[in-house]
Amino acid sequence: MTLRNILFYLLVVSFNAWGQVRYIDYPSPFHPTIGTSGMVVSQNQASSDIGIEILNMGGNAIDAAVAVGFSLATTLPRAGNLGGGGFMLVYLKDENKTIAVDFRSAAPKNISNNDFLFLKNNYDQRRYGYKASGVPGTVAGLLQTHDRYGKLPLKKILQPVIKQAQKGIQVSYDLNKAIGSADQINLDSESENIYYQNGDPVKEHLVMKRPDLAWTFREIARNGEEAFYTGSIAKKIVQAMKQNGGYISAKDLKEYKPRFAEPIQTTYRNHKVLAHPPPAGGAAVLLEGLNILENFDTAKVGPNSASFLHLFAEALQRGHMDRSRYMGDPQFYGVPIKKIISKERAKSLAKSINFQEATPPEALNPDSLFQEGENTTHYSIIDKHGNVVSNTYTLGYSFGSGVTIPGTGILLNNQMNNFAYQYGNPEVIDRSASIGNRFEPGKRPMSTMTPIIIFNEKNELKLITGSPGGALIPAAVLRVVTGVIDFDLNLGEATMLPRLHKDWPYKNLRLEKGFSRDTLQILESYGHELEESKTMGSTQSILISSKGKEGFADLRRPNAGVAIQID
């Protein structure tokens, strides 16, 4: 081969190699899943796949939401549930209407003053065991929403869910470790029999069959909501409550009703943000935080810059301040939600922010509102017609109270721990003394669950998201929203921004790993007391962009996944 031919050959090879590198290179290491039809994003891939199976049957987003919600009781038992409650937003494309569904667990009504004092003075009793559980709302919330807005028969929707419980699921590393970290499981013989083998958590890779849940699903498929609240399942719940000193009665179950209402909303940089009304306190934190941030020109700084993170933390702190005092069940307390999420309130709070100095919690007074003129799960669904469900529901703690109703597979929540038992104590100023969330029989406790739906300046659907994480939820969702709107990041980039959390009345600023040391030093110079945190939340999101429907399952927790419908 001549020298000329050799040089030509090398030039062609190097050009092709360069072209190949350019072809496979991407602008970001985080890749949303792109689809053009229906999409489901949940904290378990197998449950997301079931949602798509329902869409492929001809179901809509509401049908899929019912199937995913029930499926997660099998695939993600620490949070997916029939024995808990939550908040859901449903967007109906043809009607251009969004409905908020409150199916939060409620305190039993037959709790006496002596029972209240017992719970107040016995911390573990309101966290673990039968006394810790409120009346479950998940089944009523999902089924009544399906009755109003679904398309397919309930029996058809639940067939894949029943099959999944019968065949069982392969135990993941995450599930094995979650079982081992939930000490309350060992306090209940039924739960221990399900989740332990030979004294150890069910081993990774083994198939865990759930005939108990399959029975429950079949009863609901045959008899609907009645099975759970007055029929065969209700009888098992009431019997177990009587035998174990629990508070939930047959009357409590029969009288439980989900609430359908209008969402609360604000605008943020010409985007309409819809969230769930009280007792969803996290929604108020998010909307108030956005309203505060809107007073600052964040486009000039980066999403990980010390200046933006400082403003973000200050806005969060002020949102949590109002949540700590004034958030609760609106049927028991006049929550001043319009004032909390007003632009006037936000402007007043924004003026108190120093650009280079952290605000001490004692300098913030929640009473100024009236002086002015860690386990949950979320899933997002969109169908090919544009109907949407954004749903967050919870058992409270991981595996809730630890109690499984014998023969049903139903884990119960521990929401009795979420009331403000220190109300009236003048020495306590945090949310354990909240006037809005003080304990009352029949009341629904305040929650930080924050499912949201966002529309752009043309009133076109833009973003569906939410997260688990307890008090960390508003920060996780706010980080995604500002990443998308303020900094034009793709959904993967916005999701994987390192997160931070600032509560009230606490001084510490919690941060995930991933921030530069220089940034942390600047935040410290502003007076922030930094605390390294484990991962915060697990957002499951869908973004409508010029590319189509982008889905991204947060990488912070394993086994989450996006499933797409292919027409």
Helix (H, G, I), strand (E, B) or coil at 258: coil
What is the rounded distance in angstroms from the CA atom of residue 419 to the CA atom of residue 131?
Answer: 14
Cα first-last separation, the chain: 54
Number of separate helices (H) and strands (E) present in the chain: 19, 23
Buried b (16+ CB within 10 A) or exposed e, 312-324: bbbbbbbbbbbbb
State the Cα–Cα distance between residues 427 and 416, nearest whole angstrom.
23
Which residues on adjacent β-strands are paired with residue 564?
39
DSSP 8-state code for residue 324: H
Is 266 considered catalytic here? Answer: no
* Surface-to-core class of residue 300, CB atoms within 10 Å of its CB (0-12 exposed, 13-18 middle, 19+ buried): exposed
**Can you state the angle between helices 61-75 and 211-223, rounded to 10 degrees?**
150
Q: Which of 565, 524, 405 is nearest to 82 (CA)?
A: 405
2 Cβ partners below 8 Å, 6+ apart?
A: none
Q: Which residues of 153-166 are buried (b: 16+ CB within 10 A; e: fewer)?
A: ebebbbbbbbebbb
540-545 vs 529-532, strand pairing mode: unpaired
Go through 235-261 and write b for each residue having 16 or more CB atoms within 10 A of its CB, e for each that does not: ebbbebbeeeebbbbbebbeebebbbe
Catalytic residue (one of 145, 266, 376, 448): 376
Beta bridge pairs of residue 47: none
DSSP letter string over 400-435?
A: TTS-EETTTTEEPP-GGGGSBTTTT-TT--SGGG-S
Q: Strand 529-532 to strand 508-511: parallel, antiparallel, or no bridges (unpaired)?
A: parallel
Compute how many other C-beta atoms are within 10 angstroms of the C-beta atom of residue 170.
12
> Distance of CA 364 to CAs 285, 349, 350, 503, 531, Å?
15, 9, 12, 12, 21
E strands, 256-348, in order: 259-261, 264-268, 271-275
Task: Tell me which residues are annotated as active site.
Answer: 376
